[in-house]
A and B are shown apart, each in its own frame.
Chain A
Amino acid sequence: MEQALELLSLSPPGWGANLLRGLAASIQIALGAFGFGLIIGFFGAMGKLYGSPWVRDLLEVYTTVVRAVPELVLILILYYVGTDIINNIAAAMGRGPVEISGIAAGIWVLGVVQGAYSTEILRGAIKAVPPGQIEAARAFGMPRGLLARRVTIPAMTAFAIPGLANLWLIATKDTALLAVVGFSELTLETRQAAQSTRAYFTFFLAAGFLYLMVTLLSGVIFGRIEKWARRGQPSHRSAS
């Protein structure tokens, strides 16, 4: 026990600081990927609901493929394809290879995966908004942008929060997959610490604890957000 605490201490020779650094990288990637996914998801949902048949079909292909292929495989494909494309573009513009930071690559890869789930969640949430509210706004001649900003988005947020909370947890956990590609995030830092010290059990448990704390904390935060988003809505809706 004492030995374990020594290994986990924050100053060298303890590896605690490494785990925390890894955690920070994981959270950065997760936040970025979640945000990038939300942007894709917002346009995806709009496209699926109001786009032309072409757009709808293409989006359907995107969400189906991404949701059926294992993240690990997608990460590898997107990682290699993404860097290839960027380098080709740079070469075409007559520049040398572009440096892509690990975090940016992680955000790109996980963001594309998250986007597919976001699209479905936001589409469901927009559809759940009572059509009467939108029709009323339209009847008053509200312009489209204002309608989205004042009616659709606020009204759908409450419906989207539970799904998005779940998606955020998936984002934090999926960052662990980047360890297989060699990104320096929490799981890889843990593996390096475990291999260097042979204390596999201690470090994997410690990392598990860190992930769990992120999950529990996120649960509390999203609970607050949901309460806030549901303000002013009749409370029996959740019971029905």
Chain B
Amino acid sequence: MKLRTMLATATAAALLAGGAAAAETVKIGIAAEPYPPFALPDSAGNWSGWEVEIAKAICAAQEMTCEITPTGWDGIIPSLLGEQIDVIMASMSITEERAKKIDFTDHYYKTPAVVVTAKGSGITPDDAGLSGKILGVQASTTHQTYAQKHFEDSAAEIRVYQTQDEANQDLYSGRVDAIQADSIAMADFVNSDIGACCEIVGAVADDEAILGKGVGAGVRKGDDELREQLNAGIAAILENGTYDEITQKYFSTTIYSK
């Protein structure tokens, strides 16, 4: 009996999977770590946040069937290449290094990189200010690359965290003197209850080769049809006001610039 139920379930699952494949579900990979306000899970296991809503809006605009698929951030590019996911929408900046491995759509938001420290630390976001200090960054981000290029010599240590939240946590606990990260995520952090410890001391000097040309969706090289579809979707929601509507729910200012 039990075996038969299992077989029945398996067959049903196979049929369902077959049906879904016919409709071509696009798997949108997001980082499986809370990254407020862009992506965060609730206790029911559903993901929400600005970027998740934008992803769903793009899919709706293009009438695509999409599935949000949380994936470890550190291995998200290999997951895309290994076809576990079809699109990366995880606040990934468009950089030259990454563009060697994957293709990007047009960018859908763009924000500067900032440094956050404890209130009144007197640290400035440059070589002199970070001299002898411990700087925390998230692994596999443009901030890691930037910090290791520009602050490797001046900072006492650059500490690399698996998730942004762990870096935030260690700034709060006082283990690092400063963290470098995206300005929006940091604005959200300093407004949270533990972020009250800390303040944004300013943006780092721009280095477009590293910090990139804004955040875009990543697709496999040669997956041009999907890339065009997403581009059309991004253009559509910018055009019809959906983009602004979602943005107003999360931010007080615009986060899109050409």
* Chain A directly contacts chain B within the complex, with at least one CB pair under 8 Å: yes
A residues sitting closer than 8 Å to B (CB atoms) are 12-15, 17-18, 21, 76, 80, 83-84, 87, 96-97, 99-100, 180-184, 188, 191-193, 195-196, 198, 200
Cβ of A3 to closest chain B Cβ, rounded Å: 13
Query: Do the beta carbons of A15 and B71 come within 8 Å of each other?
Result: no
Q: Complex formed: what's the CA distance from A14 to B43 in Å?
A: 7
Q: Which of B41, B78, B82, B194 makes the CB contact (< 8 A) with A192?
A: B41
Query: Do the beta carbons of B82 and A182 come within 8 Å of each other?
Result: no
Cβ of A169 to closest chain B Cβ, rounded Å: 25
Q: Give B162's nearest chain A residue, CB to CB.
A: A180
In the assembled complex, B75 has its CB within 8 A of some CB on chain A:
yes
Residues of chain A within 8 A (CB-CB) of B71 are: 182
| 4 A-B pairs closest in CB distance | A182-B72, A97-B83, A195-B165, A83-B82
Q: Complex formed: what's the CA distance from A21 to B41 in Å?
A: 14
B residues sitting closer than 8 Å to A (CB atoms) are 17, 21, 32-34, 40-45, 70-75, 78-79, 82-84, 162-163, 165-166, 169, 193-194
Query: Do the beta carbons of B72 and A83 come within 8 Å of each other?
Result: no
Q: Which of A182, A188, A195 makes the CB contact (< 8 A) with B75?
A: A182
Q: A97-B83, A192-B33, A195-B33 are in contact. Are A15 and B43 (CB under 8 A)?
A: yes
Query: Do the beta carbons of A184 and B163 come within 8 Å of each other?
Result: no
Q: Which of A87, A188, A196 makes the CB contact (< 8 A) with B82?
A: A87
Residues of chain A within 8 A (CB-CB) of B74 are: 180, 182
Cβ of A31 to closest chain B Cβ, rounded Å: 14
Q: A15-B43, A83-B83, A84-B82 are in contact. Are A198 and B33 (CB under 8 A)?
A: no
Query: Do the beta carbons of B43 and A195 come within 8 Å of each other?
Result: no
Q: Complex formed: what's the CA distance from A198 to B196 in Å?
A: 14
24 contacts between A and B (CB under 8 A): A12-B42, A13-B43, A14-B43, A17-B44, A18-B43, A76-B75, A87-B83, A96-B21, A99-B21, A180-B162, A182-B32, A182-B70, A182-B75, A183-B72, A184-B32, A184-B70, A188-B32, A191-B33, A191-B163, A193-B43, A195-B33, A195-B169, A196-B42, A198-B194
Residues of chain A within 8 A (CB-CB) of B45 are: 18, 21
Q: Complex formed: what's the CA distance from A83 to B34 in Å?
A: 26
Q: Complex formed: what's the CA distance from A96 to B86 in Å?
A: 12
Q: Identify the interface centre among A18, A180, A195: most chain B CB within 10 Å of its CB.
A: A195
Residues of chain B within 8 A (CB-CB) of A14 are: 43
Q: A17-B43, A181-B72 are in contact. Are A192 and B34 (CB under 8 A)?
A: yes
Cβ of A86 to closest chain B Cβ, rounded Å: 9
Residues of chain A within 8 A (CB-CB) of B72 are: 180-183
Q: Give B194's nearest chain A residue, CB to CB.
A: A198
Cβ of B42 to closest chain A Cβ, rounded Å: 7
Q: Complex formed: what's the CA distance from A96 to B71 in Å?
A: 21
Query: Do the beta carbons of A80 and B78 come within 8 Å of each other?
Result: yes
